[in-house]
Amino acid sequence: MSQIVSEPQNSPRDRTGIRTAALVVAAGKGLRAGQPVPKQFARWRGKPVVRHSVEALAAAGCAPILVVIPDGAEAVAREALAGIAGVQFTTGGAARQESVRLGLEVLAGAEPDRVLIHDAARPLLPAEVIERLLIALDAYKGAIPVLPVADSLTHAAGDLMGAPARREDLRRVQTPQAFHFAEVLAAHRDWDGPTNAGDDAQVAQAWGMDVALVEGDETLHKLTYAADFGASKPLVRVGSGYDVHRLEEGEELWLCGVRIAHTHGLSGHSDADVAIHALVDAMLGAIGAGDIGQHFPPSDPQWKGAASDRFLAHAGKLVADEGYALANADVTIICEAPKIGPHREAMRERLADILGVDIAAISVKATTTEKLGFTGRREGIAAQAVVSLGLV
């Protein structure tokens, strides 16, 4: 195989008249992924796995796009790819190599000039990788995306360490793999032996084709095991919260878990910590878990006078149970008095302590309404909060 240097992405290429088809291999059973349907049709990040890459190939101008599917799976495949123009289906074989050959035979009727052969289990397909492959096909009959190997490698001698392997000489191979159509079809037709080639580049190389290497992308990760589908949740979630409590004489004033000496305090069923209540609602909202009133109803006497740090700790646990961690929280307290500045750092420390996060993840700030409205008349205090959660 040959190493090539891709052209800059802003180098225009005129491919007028060159027809590039795509063949998406989606004929496996996907049993290791632990999904109720073959993994290529399971939902991942809001849509079926196979749909992600097919949309990317369609956006790149590939036509036709032939999806090779298991026997009897046409209904689920059509549902998964509904609305994408130019998609066709055919049934695959017992092995991947056989499925590709069968697919190429079907595509032969369309007489494409080039073909991208892609595994459906690699859903995220950057347009830049497709472009690098097509550039390589201007000089070579075949090209594949690869990545360097980071770990040390060795050959195995049974249960013992064998000869070392030079990672500098090795690459991780991805798909799509790109070829001039006539040549890769001939390579598959001429294959003599068991249909156990690891990929189409091996078939092409055995036929005598030089296959160029282009830079791949880590996002082309292959979904294989059940744990891979944990990433079907959004990587980031955002929530907002807002709360208001009335100021009254004779009440204690708690803000962000800190008691503040003041002429008035906030009135409510619990300790009426308006800032924590807004933060709790933001966290619950980010994971779609309702609001503070659903979890701690004011009609329940057990929460009368309760410290709001219990509510915040509960919200933090629910966030963790969903597989997320607090990335940052931004709390704004809206009042004419008291002055929040002298207490800001104590508030940040208390919130960080309750949630078990670094204080750098917590922002507390204050503003007034220029003496307008109920906060301007010092009848109450309002608070709003915004949080972002990251998948762990």
Domain boundary (184, 200, 229) is at 229
Give the pLDDT confidence score for residue 32 in this predicted structure.
Answer: 46
Taking alpha carbons only, the member of 289, 240, 292 closest to residue 271 is 292
Q: What is the pLDDT of residues 331-376, one digit of tens each?
A: 999 999 999 999 999 999 999 999 999 999 999 999 999 999 999 9
Task: Specify whether the CB–CB gap between 350 and 242 falls below 8 A.
Answer: no
The answer on 254 and 310 residing in a single domain is: yes
What's at 363, amino acid-wise? Answer: S
The answer on 245 and 225 residing in a single domain is: no
Residues 243, 278: Cα–Cα separation, whole Å? 5
Give the pLDDT confidence score for residue 262 in this predicted structure.
Answer: 95
Q: What is the pLDDT of residues 91-109, one digit of tens each?
A: 999 999 999 999 999 999 9
Domain boundary (204, 229, 254) is at 229
The answer on 280 and 334 residing in a single domain is: yes
Give the pLDDT confidence score for residue 299 in this predicted structure.
Answer: 82
Cis peptide leading into residue 176 (ω within 30°): yes
The answer on 387 and 248 residing in a single domain is: yes
The answer as to whether 184 is a domain residue is yes
The answer as to whether 81 is a domain residue is yes
Poorest-pLDDT segment among 24-28, 50-54, 274-278: 24-28
Give the pLDDT confidence score for residue 34 in this predicted structure.
Answer: 44
The answer as to whether 12 is a domain residue is no
Q: What is the pLDDT of residues 229-272, one digit of tens each?
A: 665 578 899 999 999 999 999 999 999 999 999 999 999 989 99
Angle of helix 344-355 versus helix 274-286 axis, rounded to 10: 40
Q: What is the pLDDT of residues 139-191, one digit of tens each?
A: 999 999 999 998 888 889 999 999 888 888 999 999 999 999 999 999 999 99
The answer on 290 and 192 residing in a single domain is: no
Q: What is the pLDDT of residues 193-218, one digit of tens each?
A: 899 998 999 999 999 999 999 999 99
Residue with tokens 């996060």: 357
Burial bucket for residue 266 (CB in 10 Å: 0-12, 13-18, 19+): buried
The answer on 278 and 219 residing in a single domain is: no
The answer on 110 and 244 residing in a single domain is: no
38, 263, 358 from 341: Cα distances, Å: 57, 17, 20
CA angle 83, 85, 86 (to 5 degrees): 140
Say if residue 49's pLDDT is above 80: yes
Task: Specify whether the CB–CB gap between 28 and 119 falls below 8 A.
Answer: no
Query: Full-prediction pTM beyond 0.95?
Result: no
Taking alpha carbons only, the member of 221, 223, 21, 14 closest to residue 108 is 21
Say if residue 36's pLDDT is above 60: no
CATH code of the domain containing 368: 3.30.1330.50
The answer on 220 and 287 residing in a single domain is: no
Task: Return binding residues.
Answer: 243-245, 269-270, 277, 291-293, 367-370, 374, 377
What's at 68, amino acid-wise? Answer: V
CATH code of the domain containing 138: 3.90.550.10
Residue with tokens 């209540």: 277
The answer on 367 and 281 residing in a single domain is: yes
Give the pLDDT confidence score for residue 12 in this predicted structure.
Answer: 41
CA dihedral over 327, 288, 280, 356, signed as positive or negative: negative
Mean pLDDT of 297-317: 89
How many domains does the chain fold into?
2
Residue with tokens 């298991």: 70
3-state secondary structure of 108: helix
Poorest-pLDDT segment among 9-13, 100-104, 285-289: 9-13
The answer as to whether 5 is a domain residue is no
Residues 288, 292: Cα–Cα separation, whole Å? 12
Other Cβ atoms less than 10 A from the Cβ of 322: the count is: 16
Other Cβ atoms less than 10 A from the Cβ of 154: the count is: 12
Task: Specify whether the CB–CB gap between 116 and 130 falls below 8 A.
Answer: yes
Say if residue 1's pLDDT is above 90: no
Domain boundary (229, 253, 270) is at 229
Q: How confident is the model at residue 305 (pLDDT cuts 50, 70, 90)?
A: confident
The answer on 304 and 186 residing in a single domain is: no
Residues 266, 379: Cα–Cα separation, whole Å? 10
The answer on 123 and 42 residing in a single domain is: yes
Question: Over the chain, what is the mean pLDDT?
Answer: 90
The residue range of the domain holding 253 is 236-391
The answer as to whether 4 is a domain residue is no
Poorest-pLDDT segment among 64-68, 257-261, 297-301, 385-389: 297-301
The answer as to whether 283 is a domain residue is yes
